[in-house]
Amino acid sequence: MQTFWDSMPVIMLNRYLATFAPGFESVIGGILSETAPAARMEATQSGMILFSLAGNPAAAVNAPVFNNVFLVVRDWKKHDMTFPAMVNTIVRSDSLARIAAFVRSFRHKSFRVRFSKENQFVSVDKKLVESAERHIASVTGMLPDRVNPACEFWFIIRREAFSCFSFRLTKKQSTEKYLRQGELRPELVQLIVALSAPGPEDSVFADPFAGYGSIPSRILANRKGQACTVYVSDSDPRRVADLQSRFSGSPGVVVRKADARDLSFIADASVHRIITDPPWGEWEQSSPGSGGLARLYEGMLDSFARILAPGGRVCVLSSAKREMEEAVAKNPVFGTCAVTPGFRTDILVNGKKSAVFALYKAQEYTNETH
């Protein structure tokens, strides 16, 4: 995520709004506390967290889990808020003037005004846009530029009785144009890794459907130089060659060509966390006669159960929810996970309904009990 921060001016206590992939509300507060310990959380809603922070917010702005981070200029806690009412309030108040020095410190020359309702950009009356632009220009000294602005101000209305006028602090490039087919967005990867809840004593990881290596890369980044072992494997020889090149200089990374249903190169009960993104519906088209996703998921879970250490956790991303749930129910190690809170976290991946499944192996489990 690219940000505006070249040098950060000293600012007083401010309130911020950060957006992230909906579904990860249970872990986002912990991630924020780790990245910005001074932040004080005020509210968490679907795909959004509101917090206050004194001083430099760079750590929160640069957190790899957030899609966008905004400085809240003014907010309203009403169900029936409208954009005309918001704009009229802003132009008649000193809300923007109170943070004008902070905004001017970035030395931006131009800005754009955006209107977002329930996470979708919407069009509003031209005169309303012009009114907002005139006010922002007069207070900040910047010029409106609707095509290629240096920064943005957003009017946001959400369905949870929360609306705000805000200054966008992140200048995020669209990652989709740089991602290869099937590659996950970096923010989503970090959230999935966080959902696996690795502790400081967990040092052995595995991604048996490594693909382009996004998950192992994030695991290594989160370890911050701490020693660990990461088993990286895939059944596609082209992917494996790329993975070997990508991780050639990474100590502790073991890259193998392997079917996730046969991870014989990994010892029994040796892995603390398995975090992976197996094939979804495309598996059946690419592997005719294989028994489909149901057979694949059943086989991979048997394999995961063997290599996972007692007390270990598994996080699997899939849109094939029925096949995954049926495979979990059949597995003697993971079967009870289906009735455990947090078993399934529903999310959207590029607009497709998906889920992250969290499984665990009981601490007292041994191979003899299987």
Per-residue pLDDT of the chain (370 residues; tens, 9 = 90+): 444 444 545 456 789 999 998 889 988 998 899 889 999 999 999 999 999 998 888 888 888 899 999 999 999 999 899 999 999 999 999 999 999 998 998 999 999 999 999 989 999 999 999 999 999 999 999 999 999 999 999 999 998 899 999 999 987 655 555 677 778 888 999 999 999 999 989 999 999 999 999 999 999 999 988 999 999 999 999 999 999 999 999 999 999 999 999 999 999 999 999 999 998 755 444 454 456 888 999 999 999 999 999 999 999 999 999 999 999 999 999 999 988 888 999 998 877 899 999 999 988 666 555 4
Res 60: pLDDT: 87
- pLDDT in the model for residue 56: 83
Q: Can you list the domains of the chain with their CATH numbers?
A: 14-168 (3.30.2130.30), 186-369 (3.40.50.150)
| pLDDT reported for residue 147 | 96
Angle 248-252-253 from CA coordinates, rounded to 5°: 50
**Is the C-alpha dihedral spanning 98, 104, 108, 110 positive or negative?**
positive
pLDDT of residue 43: 93
List, in order, residues 6 or more apart from 204 with CB less than 8 Å away: 228, 229, 230, 231, 270, 271, 272, 273, 309
Give buried/exposed letters for 152-163 (b at 16+ CB in 10 A, else e). Answer: bbbbbbbeeebb
**With contact defined as beta carbons under 8 Å apart, do 35 and 127 qualify?**
no
Q: What is the reported pLDDT for 282? A: 55
Work out the number of other CB atoms within 10 angstroms of the CB of residue 195.
21
- At residue 226's C-alpha, the angle toward residues 221 and 227, to 5°, is 110
- Three-state SS for 262? coil
Instruction: Judge whether 239 and 210 are in contact, CB under 8 Å.
Output: yes
pLDDT value for 11: 55
Among 314, 312, 311, smallest CA distance to 324 is for 314
Residue 366: per-residue pLDDT: 61
Q: How far is Cα 346 from Cα 33, in angstroms, rounded to an integer?
A: 23
Residue 34 has a pLDDT of: 87
Q: What is the pLDDT of residue 1?
A: 44
Strands 253-257 and 229-234: parallel
Q: What is the pLDDT of residue 215?
A: 97
**What CA–CA distance (Å, rounded) separates 275 from 185?**
15
pLDDT value of position 286: 47
